[in-house]
Amino acid sequence: MSRGRFGIDDSPVFVIDQSRCIGCEACVQACAECGTHRGQSLIHLERVDRATSTQTAPMVCMHCEDPTCAQVCPADAIKQTEEGIVQSALKPRCIGCSNCVLACPFGVPKYVADFDQMMKCDMCTDRTSEGLTPMCASVCPSEALWYGTIKEFNDTRSGSLFRDFMFGRQEVRTKVYTVIDDALGGPLDVLAGVTRTWLDDPFGLDHVQATS
Amino acid sequence: MARPPITDEELIARYGPHLNEAPPGGWDAGLQIDKVVNTHCCFCGQQCGIKLKVHDNLVVGFEPWYDFPFNEGKLCPKGVKRYLQGGHPDRLLHSMERDETAPGGFRNITWDQALDRVVSEIRRIQAEYGDDAFAMLSGVSLTNEKSYLVGKFARLALHTANLDYNGRYCMVSAGTGNKKALGVDRAPNPWSDIPLADVVWVAGSNVAETFPITTSYIWRARDRGAKLIVQDPRVVPLARTADLFLPVRPGTDSALFGAVLHVLVDRDWLDHDFIDAHTLHFDDAAAAVADMTPAWAAGITGVPAARIEEAAELWGTSATGMMLHARGIEQHTKGVDNVLAAINLGLATGKFGKPGCGVSTITGQGNGQGGREHGHKCDQLPGNRDITNPEHRAAVAKVWHCDESDIPGKGLPAQELIEAIHDGTIKGLLSICFNPAVSAPDVNFTREALDKLEFYAVIDFFLSESGHHADIVMPGSLHEEDEGTSTSGEGRIIKINAAVTPPGEARRDWEILLDIAERLGKSEYFPYTNTEEIFEELCRASTGGTADYTGATWRRIEDEMGLFWPVPEAGHPGTPRLYEGGKFYHPDGKARFHAVPYKLSAEVVDGDYPVLLTTGRVVSQYLSGTQTRRIAALVAQYPEPLCEMHPMLAEPLGIADGDLVTVTSRRGTITLPAHVVNTIRPDTVFIPYHWPGHKAANQLTIRAVDPLSKMPEFKVAAVRVERAGGHVETTDVRDLTLQDGRS
């Protein structure tokens, strides 16, 4: 089977592995090519702290099982599909209040002023409904964004899949998986938990000072 | 007369770069898709498969091509947005002649007028100054067919020795090193070997930004437990998670490689059987590194000795391993030395000709591999033959149906060619797909040279900054407007399919060259009616050369998703991995070690110019930016060059992030915003080179070249850095417009 096409029974899942992100923005550019919101990219790609690191973090909608954005929407404009995909606010209902923008624990919804509407990642419903991989995971050159079956992930990739989060007392289970080094190992380390002593002093400056 | 007819600002106002914001008809056009064409990205040597969507002879979108095995649908941002160069307002649609009185500095003329003027100037200059006084510069954004045709056109139609190509600024150090050591100029491995390596060593390649797809191959190796070593003056994105980072000072790679070989010898991490059976001159190479201890190299390279020893241990004790190198070690006056020193490490440990083993360049330009094989280098004939070798000349003359004496001899490499224009030896120039006004070192000198031409004709699809100097501009074809083949960085010959026909009066490049040849009275050598016929002749001309395409056909290339050369006969399966069984391409089948003593770069830092400058690329721009600076979404990613510097360099100079700084070398000066980050060596600044005029990093670089490959030293120059006064905000305006609205 070719990557990018899935039958109904394959049950592919969406996976984010932040440690592999190279910040190239292929996802940002490709998101804007999605048929349902062409010209408007809805994925987030953040530079975490460019002054100290090239770490970047891509963020699609995590598609929570019980989405906070929908809970706080005063207009009941945010709906889930039967597959658990949380959709953009319904245009006729959305009042542009940005409650969802503020409430989402992952910072996903965007208030798009030009449309006076909340828009967010809908997991490329137009593509996934036809068995195609979402645009961002199709193009991601480092496979930081990945779409496939859990078996395929476990057979080919390192790291553990993870989808339960605690935000204070709020427990959130997401449809989208994150990759961590060890699912039982405590807080999520976006650097994948690899031990690299060089990171403390990448340019060997301690060494230079010691020898000069 | 090749001075720009009007000011740069006026030329830019008329010919761009303007920004193409949206596809034809706008984002919401909902156009009917007439056809979807399987082809490849035009940017970079990875040559990712892509599907282009066509409506009414316009490319209006793309779709991932999941079935193409190299990239399985993956693309970088340039690939995603490549389709926006079609239907672009800056697209050249008419032949033009320089005219200072015309709006925009050029007036439209007919094809007959353009071709007549070009041919009359070629004749005049060659009659007055000799055949070689008219030169040609070409580029490897061209297909194999066009590259081959350019080589034949320059030799038999122009009858000039002086033809060279823009790969002189890209791949030539790797090519020269590979030929000397291994006997052939091709990446030794298919990329499918990378996941089989137990150690992956990336040396001088910002893979994440220049070859993004390669990161997925490296991660597949890491998923198997492979270790990753990154050698770079910057903590580039791939380095962030590397097992070992070698923060090499620009210009000292050969010292680092030498010290690693020293440790391999010292600890006997050597494959003696391989060395004895398949190589020559190991003792010379070992003797040259006898004194290159890790402690010595630490002082030269800035890499702590312990990390050098660790790199040697990882490389020397791993059963399999691949080193991937690119311009970072190659664009030096000792670029060939660096490549030879890297290959020494592969040979010493037997890492060639086996799954997951190789020392490989990552070819940079779109058709950087194929375009450098079939004769548009100054010293080369098709099949990667040597233009000075009588047997090679005779073999090609037979295919070309000409006398061997009709083929001119070796010409000047690109940088010497530009200097010959500057000193008045070369008077006329025809260029295609080459923008030296941005990409050449010391661009102020380069622009002076272009000004001195008596006649300059350009074939291009957009008016590049070099095109500003042209007397005649002929509108050629975009990648998606013609068909042919290219050869990717893996050595895989692939099929480029036409999605649309050229707009307006623009024509396919090969048709333009054929018309010029006809008017020069040389049409007998160019009897082609389509590009497949050119490919078939290319294959015949390659027979018996190292880059042997004999058994390749367009049909097979498409059916088999590419063919790896050599394909020496019909039905041959192709050769994904070179050197299997330890068989190298020298006549005796053996590889050569080379003694590589450490040498200084052409320019070293001193009290007046105390900081190292190294130049490179960003992910959203390609080469001189002729195409990518016209696509709004790519420009928004990285709108203008920034000067990356470490806080330890910036703070004593009173420079904060976003402050304007002036960087000065012995050649020129540039003022640009500082990007203060602690991911670069404190003794080095980095500036990407994709921009022209006063934003050109190449105002600072030096015209010194490698003695063998003639590659300029883009990676090392001595500069000083000062506060310029002024500050720009570094906020990403895209976030603001989203929340605030565009209107």
CATH number for the domain harbouring residue B120: 3.40.50.740
If residue A145 lies in a helix (H) or strand (E), which one and from where to where? strand A145-148
Give me the torsion for CA of B14, B15, B19, B25, rounded to 10°: 90
Instruction: Tell me the C-alpha distance between B603 and B707, whole Å.
Output: 15
Task: Let me know if residue B14 belongs to a domain.
Answer: no
Cα separation, B625 vs A22, in Å, equals 21
| B443 within some domain | yes
Q: Are residues B663 and B732 in the same domain?
A: yes
B607-616 per-position pLDDT tens digit: 999 999 999 9
In chain A, the residue whose alpha carbon lies closest to the alpha carbon of B618 is: A24
Is residue B373 within 8 A of residue B386, CB to CB? The reply is: no
Distance CA(B447)–CA(B680), nearest Å, equals 31
Do residue B177 and residue B153 come from a single domain? no
Tokens, residue A55: 């770490």
In this complex, do A140 and B74 lie within 8 Å of one another by their Cβ atoms? yes
B64:A139 CB<8 A: yes
**What residues contact B292, with CB distance under 8 A and at least 6 apart?**
B255, B258, B259, B261, B262, B598
**Residues B491 and B626 occupy one common structural domain:** no
Q: Tell me the DSSP string of A44-93.
A: EEEES-TTT---EEEE----BSS-HHHHH-TT----B-TT-PBPPPPTTT
Minimum distance, in Å, between the CA of residue A36 and any CA atom of chain B: 10
Cis peptide bond prior to B566, omega within 30° of 0? yes
pLDDT (0 to 100) of residue A208 = 58
- Put simply, the answer to whether A203 touches B681 (Cβ < 8 Å) is yes
pLDDT band at B228 (very low <50, low <70, confident <90, very high): very high
Which distant-in-sequence residues (6+ apart) come within 8 Å of B417 by Cβ?
B135, B137, B162, B164, B378, B411, B426
Do B204 and B325 lie in one domain? The reply is: yes
* pLDDT tens, position by position, B30-43: 899 999 999 999 99
Write the CB contacts of B389 (distance below 8 Å, at least 6 apart in sequence): none
pLDDT tier at B393 (50, 70, 90 boundaries)? very high
Task: Check CB contact under 8 Å for A204 and B679.
Answer: no
Digits of tens for pLDDT over chain A (212 positions)?
Answer: 345 556 555 789 999 999 999 999 999 999 999 888 899 999 999 988 899 999 999 999 999 999 999 999 999 999 999 989 999 999 999 999 999 999 999 999 989 888 889 999 999 998 998 899 999 999 999 999 999 999 999 999 999 998 988 887 888 999 999 998 776 765 554 444 455 678 888 998 876 554 44
Q: With beta carbons under 8 A apart, name residues in chain A contacting B743.
A: 114
ipTM of the complex: 0.95
Chains A and B form CB pairs within 8 A to the count of 170
pLDDT at A188: 53
Check whether residue B142 and residue B44 sit in a common domain.
no
Q: Which amino acid is at B639?
A: P
pLDDT of B404 strictly over 80: yes
CB of B606 within 8 A of CB of B360? no
Statement to judge: residues B348 and B403 lie in one domain: no
Per-residue pLDDT tens for B190-203?
Answer: 999 999 999 999 99
Q: Give CA–CA dist B270/B267, Å, rounded.
A: 8
Q: How far apart are the first and last CA of chain A?
A: 59
Boundary-marking domain end, from B329, B361, B393: B361
- Please report residues of B whose CB lies closer than 8 A to that of A199: 245
Specify if B70 maps to a domain. yes
B345-357: pLDDT as tens digits: 999 999 999 999 9
Domain A8-60+121-211 = CATH 1.10.287: no
Predicted structure pTM score: 0.96
Q: How large is the angle between the packed helices B111-129 and B509-519, nearest 10 degrees?
A: 60
**Token pair listed for B414:** 């690109």
B590 inside domain:
no
Indicate which CATH number applies to the domain containing B81: 3.30.200.210
**Is A198–B244 a contact, with Cβ atoms under 8 angstroms apart?**
yes
Q: Report yes or no on B28 lying in a domain.
A: yes
pLDDT above 70 covers what percent of chain B? Answer: 99
- Please report which helix (H) or strand (E) contains residue B273, including its range: helix B272-278
Strands A110-112 and A117-119: antiparallel
Whole-number mean pLDDT of chain B?
A: 97
Instruction: Establish if B604 belongs to a structural domain.
Output: no
pLDDT digits (tens, 9 = 90+) for B410-456: 999 999 999 999 999 999 999 999 999 999 999 999 999 999 999 99
Residue boundaries of the structural domains of chain A: 8-60+121-211
Same domain for B319 and B257, yes or no, is yes
- Confidence (pLDDT) at B738: 66
Nearest CB to B302 within list A30, A139, A203: A203
For residue A194, count CB atoms less than 10 angstroms from its CB and return exposed for 0-12, middle for 13-18, buried for 19 or more.
Answer: middle
- B326 three-state secondary structure: coil
Relative to beta strand A160-167, strand A44-47 is unpaired
Same domain, B222 and B317: yes
Contacts 24+ apart (CB under 8 A), B554-561: B554/B485, B554/B495, B557/B485, B557/B493, B557/B494, B557/B495, B558/B495, B561/B67, B561/B68, B561/B69, B561/B494
Q: Give the closest-approach CA distance of B336 to chain A in angstroms.
A: 26
**Number of domains comprising chain B:** 4
Mean of pLDDT values over B221-227: 97
Question: Where a domain ends, among B44, B62, B85?
Answer: B85
**Banded model confidence at residue B158, pLDDT cuts 50, 70, 90:** very high
- Rounded to 5°, the CA angle B165-B167-B61 comes to 100
Q: Which two tokens mark B608?
A: 């007046």
**CA-nearest residue of chain B to A119?**
B738
Q: What angle do CA B643, B645, B650 make, to 5 degrees?
A: 110
CA distances from B325 to B173, B230, B231, B330, B648 (A): 11, 10, 9, 8, 29
Asked if residue B369 lies in contact with residue B186, where contact means CB atoms within 8 angstroms, the answer is yes
Chain A interface mutation, best of B41, B48, B191, B215, highest count of A Cβ atoms under 10 Å: B215
Instruction: Return the H-helix or E-strand segment holding A110.
Output: strand A110-112
B209 and B117 both lie in a single domain: no
- B182 & B162 share domain: no
Instruction: Sort B608 into a burial class: Cβ within 10 Å, 0-12 / 13-18 / 19+.
Output: exposed
Residue A99: beta bridge partners?
Answer: none
Residue B642 domain flag: yes
Q: What is the pLDDT of residue B311?
A: 98
In Å, what is the CA distance from A47 to each residue of A175, A187, B439?
24, 20, 29
Contacts of A210 (CB under 8 A, 6+ apart): none
At B327, the amino acid letter reads: R
Examine the pLDDT at B477 and tell me if it is beyond 90.
Answer: yes
Mean pLDDT within B253-282: 98
Q: How far is CA A211 from each of CA B22, B512, B522, rounded to the nearest angstrom?
A: 56, 63, 68
3-class DSSP assignment, residue B521 = coil
- Inter-chain residue contact B677 with A133, CB threshold 8 Å: no
- Examine the domain organization and report whether B136 and B259 are in the same domain: no
Average pLDDT over residues B322-337: 98
Please tell me the predicted confidence (pLDDT) of residue B42.
96
Tell me: do B137 and B188 sit in the same domain: no
CB-based contact B526:B157 (threshold 8 Å): yes
Contacts of residue B594, defined as CB under 8 A and 6 or more positions apart, other chains included, come to B180, B181, B281, B284, B285, B340, B341, B343, B344
CB atoms within 10 A of CB A107: 12
CA distance B68 to B50: 8
Among A36, A42, A125, A121, which Cα is nearest to A83's? Answer: A125
Question: Could you tell me the CA-to-CA distances from B425 to A94, A127, B120, B449, B572 in Å, in that order?
Answer: 71, 60, 19, 11, 47
Domain assignment present for residue B368? The answer is no
Of B55, B85, B115, at which residue does a domain stop? B85
Give me the pLDDT at residue A170, please. 83
DSSP strand pairing (A160-167 vs B279-280): unpaired
Q: Which residues of B522-535 are buried (b: 16+ CB within 10 A; e: fewer)?
A: beebbebeebbebb
Confidence tier at B85 by pLDDT (50, 70, 90): very high
Q: What is the pLDDT of residue B739?
A: 64
Q: Are A5 and A147 within 8 A, CB to CB?
A: no
The minimum CA-CA distance between B634 and chain A, rounded to whole Å, is: 8
B421-434 core/surface letters (b: 16 or more CB in 10 A; e: else): bbeebbbbbbbbbb
Contacts of B740 in chain A (CB under 8 A): 113
- The CATH number that applies at residue B316 is 3.40.228.10
* Beta strand extents in B584-694 (DSSP E only): 591-592, 611-616, 643-645, 659-664, 669-676, 684-688
Query: In this complex, do A55 and B240 lie within 8 Å of one another by their Cβ atoms?
Result: yes
pLDDT score of A166 = 84
pLDDT of residue B269: 98
Q: Which residues pair with B431 in a beta bridge?
A: B137, B458
| Residue numbers of the domain that contains B679 | 611-740
CA separation, residue B603 to residues B485, B646, B684 (Å): 40, 22, 14
